[in-house]
């Protein structure tokens, strides 16, 4: 090989090396929540757990695109038409910062960052990173739900839109699903940190409660199942509110029809909640009534622990919110280890009260005395 040829080959090899030196983690500009102004603003953030930025893969999650599946509730089956493939993050890099090149890339890196923050949040609360195993995120998944009307029996199909959810029918389906936008005019759900922490909390709930049951909860009577389902939604909302400090985190993405989920609202537990839990089965049951009550009660108690009166506006401090969230996680862990065949929300509240120091427990009992009056007598920790 002559000298000029060797030099040219060396140049090509060196240039190939230059291309292959992207490290772990990245600084990215995304739209993210600012609690001080209760709004989303563009900020440069560090995404720390990425191992492959081109494919948005890392310890927090791996984004998959092009997924197509059918959730057939009539047969209790998941049918994959197409599992999907890793995504391809498009960005321009300037002064070490990645700027998303298109809307989907902005949404996807925001999703990854939000899941990473959720993972870190739960690690601070006491759930080690990696305990949940691999959790993929199916971005813009085409999900068709097939269900039978509980009253007429008529089978119908709905193509999912404007939603994000956690699904864990089996190990293969386990992950987060971000559905296409159709009518949402505000902040996309995947960019809403509250929504992502909410969904991540479902994965934690699965790990701490459902996975510890003999058959994943399938053998429970429908009433206990409905109460646990409601607790799942309630805890997910609590975690989102405690992480963001935004009791109405949904409002950035969804319109006023979701105001019933505002944790700062005064929600009283009504006898109809129990009637509904005892009457309806499976998809016909609405878990958000009791779930919203649980999150609003815990949020109001946290406000009072921080010295805020019921009539005073204000958000409890971050340290206190994290402490309370850690107690909620601990209570959930304790609840999941018990026989839940006669579960009611009172059992969870009792486990939570026992994990709070007496002063804080007194505030929670005070709130529950007013809002959970019909079952207050079941709360051994408050009596």
Partner 1 sequence: MFKGLFLFVFLSFLTFRAGDVQAGAPEQRQTLSLLGGVRMGASFQEQSWNYREYAPGFVVGPHLAFHFVHTRHVRLGVDGGYLFFARDIDAGTDMLRMETRYHRFDLNAVATVEFRAFAAGISAGTGIMLFSTDTRYEEEDRVELREHTGVQAGFLGGLSLGAEVGRHWWKLNRSVYLMARSDWLRRGGRDEFTLCFLASIEITSKKKTQK
Would you say 345 and 230 are in contact if contact means Cβ atoms under 8 Å apart? yes
Who's near 149: CB < 8 A, 6+ residues apart?
A: 155, 156
- Residue 338 Cβ vs partner 1, minimum distance, rounded to whole Å: 42
Name which of 62 and 294 has its Cβ closer to partner 1.
62
What burial class does residue 53 get, using C-beta atoms within 10 Å of its C-beta: 0-12 exposed, 13-18 middle, 19+ buried? buried
Residue 66 binding partner 1, by CB under 8 A: yes
Name which of 20 and 214 has its Cβ closer to partner 1.
20
DSSP lists the bridge partners of residue 133 as none
- Residue 57 Cβ vs partner 1, minimum distance, rounded to whole Å: 12
Residue 39 binding partner 1, by CB under 8 A: yes
Residue 36 binding partner 1, by CB under 8 A: no
Q: Which of 120, 186, 212, 375 binds partner 1 (CB under 8 A)?
A: 186
Backbone φ and ψ of 98, nearest 5°: -90, 130
Name which of 108 and 241 has its Cβ closer to partner 1.
108
- Residue 105 Cβ vs partner 1, minimum distance, rounded to whole Å: 5
Q: Which of 54, 129, 156, 255 binds partner 1 (CB under 8 A)?
A: 54
**For residue 179, how far is the Cα from the chain centroid?**
15
Backbone φ and ψ of 133, nearest 5°: 75, -165
- Residue 290 Cβ vs partner 1, minimum distance, rounded to whole Å: 31
Name which of 84 and 336 has its Cβ closer to partner 1.
84
Angle at 326 between CA 113 and CA 59, to 5 degrees: 30
Size of the site for partner 1 (CB under 8 A): 49
- Return the CA Rg of the chain: 23
- Residue 187 Cβ vs partner 1, minimum distance, rounded to whole Å: 6
DSSP lists the bridge partners of residue 45 as 28
Name which of 194 and 287 has its Cβ closer to partner 1.
194
- Residue 248 Cβ vs partner 1, minimum distance, rounded to whole Å: 13
The whole-angstrom separation of Cα 134 and Cα 131 is 9
Four-residue CA torsion sign, 162, 86, 172, 203: negative
The whole-angstrom separation of Cα 345 and Cα 72 is 30
Would you say 356 and 364 are in contact if contact means Cβ atoms under 8 Å apart? yes
- Residue 17 Cβ vs partner 1, minimum distance, rounded to whole Å: 9
Q: Are strands 26-34 and 97-100 parallel, antiparallel or unpaired?
A: parallel
As a three-state string, the secondary structure of 317-337 is: CHHHHHHHHHHHHHHHHHHHC
Q: Which of 81, 102, 255, 357 binds partner 1 (CB under 8 A)?
A: 102
Four-residue CA torsion sign, 340, 344, 347, 352: positive
Q: Which of 1, 3, 36, 92 binds partner 1 (CB under 8 A)?
A: 92
- Residue 86 Cβ vs partner 1, minimum distance, rounded to whole Å: 7
Residue 84 belongs to what H/E stretch?
Answer: none
Would you say 109 and 98 are in contact if contact means Cβ atoms under 8 Å apart? yes
Would you say 140 and 157 are in contact if contact means Cβ atoms under 8 Å apart? no
Q: Which of 105, 226, 244, 276 binds partner 1 (CB under 8 A)?
A: 105
What x-and-dash track marks residues 10-29 binding partner 1 by CB under 8 A? -xx-xxx-xx---------x
**For residue 362, how far is the Cα from the chain centroid?**
29
Residue 255 binding partner 1, by CB under 8 A: no
Q: Which of 28, 49, 62, 84 binds partner 1 (CB under 8 A)?
A: 84
What x-and-dash track marks residues 287-316 binding partner 1 by CB under 8 A? ------------------------------
- Residue 136 Cβ vs partner 1, minimum distance, rounded to whole Å: 14
Name which of 14 and 123 has its Cβ closer to partner 1.
14
Residue 45 binding partner 1, by CB under 8 A: no
Would you say 277 and 230 are in contact if contact means Cβ atoms under 8 Å apart? yes
- Residue 12 Cβ vs partner 1, minimum distance, rounded to whole Å: 6
Residue 140 binding partner 1, by CB under 8 A: yes
Interface with partner 1 by CB under 8 A: which residues? 4, 8, 11-12, 14-16, 18-19, 29, 31, 39-42, 54-55, 65-66, 84-94, 99-106, 108, 139-140, 181, 184-188, 191, 252
């Amino acid at each position: 090989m002559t000298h000029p040829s060797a030099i040219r080959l060396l140049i090509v090899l060196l240039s190939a090396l230059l291309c292959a030196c992207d490290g772990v983690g990245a600084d990215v500009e995304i739209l993210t929540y600012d609690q001080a102004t209760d709004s989303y603003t563009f900020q440069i953030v560090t995404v720390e757990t990425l191992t492959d930025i081109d494919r948005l893969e890392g310890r927090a999650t791996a984004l998959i695109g092009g997924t197509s599946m059918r959730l057939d509730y009539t047969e209790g089956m998941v049918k994959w038409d197409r599992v999907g493939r890793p995504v391809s993050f498009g960005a321009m890099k300037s002064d070490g910062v990645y700027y998303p090149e298109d809307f989907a890339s902005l949404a996807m890196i925001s999703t990854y960052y939000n899941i990473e923050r959720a993972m870190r949040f739960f690690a601070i609360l006491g759930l080690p990173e990696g305990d949940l195993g691999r959790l993929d995120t199916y971005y813009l998944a085409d999900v068709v739900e097939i269900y039978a009307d509980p009253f007429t029996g008529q089978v119908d199909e709905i193509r999912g839109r404007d939603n994000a959810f956690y699904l864990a029918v089996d190990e293969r389906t386990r992950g987060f699903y971000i559905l296409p936008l159709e009518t949402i005019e505000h902040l996309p759900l995947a960019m809403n940190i509250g929504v992502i922490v909410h969904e991540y909390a479902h994965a934690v709930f699965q790990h701490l409660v459902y996975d510890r049951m003999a058959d994943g909860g399938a053998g429970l009577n429908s009433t206990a199942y409905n109460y646990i389902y409601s607790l799942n939604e309630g805890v997910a909302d609590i975690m989102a509110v405690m992480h963001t400090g935004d009791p109405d985190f949904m409002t950035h993405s969804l319109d006023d029809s979701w105001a019933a989920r505002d944790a700062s609202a005064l929600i009283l537990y009504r006898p109809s909640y129990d009637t509904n839990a005892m009457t309806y089965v499976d998809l016909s049951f609405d878990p958000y009534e009791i779930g919203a009550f649980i999150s609003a009660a815990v949020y109001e108690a946290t406000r009072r622990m921080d010295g805020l009166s019921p009539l005073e506006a204000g958000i409890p401090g971050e340290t206190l919110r994290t402490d309370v969230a850690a107690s909620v996680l601990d209570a959930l862990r304790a609840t999941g280890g018990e026989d839940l065949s006669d579960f009611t929300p009172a059992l969870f509240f009792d486990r939570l009260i026992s994990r709070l120091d007496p002063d804080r427990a007194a505030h929670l009992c005070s709130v529950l005395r007013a809002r959970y009056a019909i079952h207050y007598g079941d709360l051994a920790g408050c009596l």
